Amino acid sequence: MINYKSKLIYFFLTVLFLSFVKCSTTERTVKEVKTDDTYIFDEVPPEDYCTFKTPIENSDAEYIVQIGAFSTLERAKQFADKSRLQLQKDIKVNFNDRNSLYVVQIHPPFQSKTEAEKYRDELWKNDDYNDAWILEADKEEQ
């Protein structure tokens, strides 16, 4: 029978052997080959350039600031009443056939998109109106 000292020596030798095996690297060093990842675009002929014109406001359009859309007339009217008091503006509720919603809009419509955007941007500062957006409509649609 192996005595206690022999077992202890055998144990330490085993631990020492395993530590060498675990710590030694078995991977080969691979030399990394660098490639140039720069892509040079081909020259684009001048006729392929696109030019964009500055958008011009449609003089036959009105710009409506919409502040809400609701599935029920009751909720749309409640929101409109609260908005009239809060904004001191004329507010109209209309039914939109296309999406079957009652829309709440500021009236009268703005005559320029710039005016409508300025008013909408002011509304965005109030959490109740941070979903306000602008509709462009032909004047004869109203």
The average pLDDT across 122-133 equals 92
This prediction has a pTM of 0.57
123 vs 23 pLDDT, higher one = 123
φ and ψ at residue 42, rounded to 5 degrees: -70, 155
Q: 2, exposed or middle or buried, with CB in 10 Å at 0-12, 13-18, 19+?
A: exposed
DSSP state for residue 40 in the 8-state scheme: P
Q: Please give the span between the terminal C-alpha atoms of the chain, in angstroms, as a whole number.
A: 107
Q: Report how far residue 129's alpha carbon sits from residue 122's, in angstroms, rounded to the nearest whole number.
A: 9
Among 46, 75, 58, 49, residue whose Cα is nearest residue 114:
58
Four-way CATH pick for 61-141: 3.40.50.620, 3.40.50.300, 3.40.50.850, 3.30.70.1070 = 3.30.70.1070
Amino acid of residue 20: F
What is the structure's pLDDT at 64?
Answer: 95
pLDDT in tens, 35-90: 666 666 666 666 656 666 666 666 788 999 999 999 999 999 999 999 999 999 99
* pLDDT exceeds cutoff 70 at 136: yes
Q: Report how far residue 142's alpha carbon sits from residue 139's, in angstroms, rounded to the nearest whole number.
A: 6
* pLDDT exceeds cutoff 80 at 104: yes
DSSP string, 70-98: ESSHHHHHHHHHHHHHHH-SEEEEEEETT
pLDDT in tens, 4-38: 777 778 777 777 666 666 555 555 666 666 666 66
What is the structure's pLDDT at 142?
Answer: 45
Domain range annotation of the chain: 61-141
Among 113, 110, 132, residue whose Cα is nearest residue 121:
132
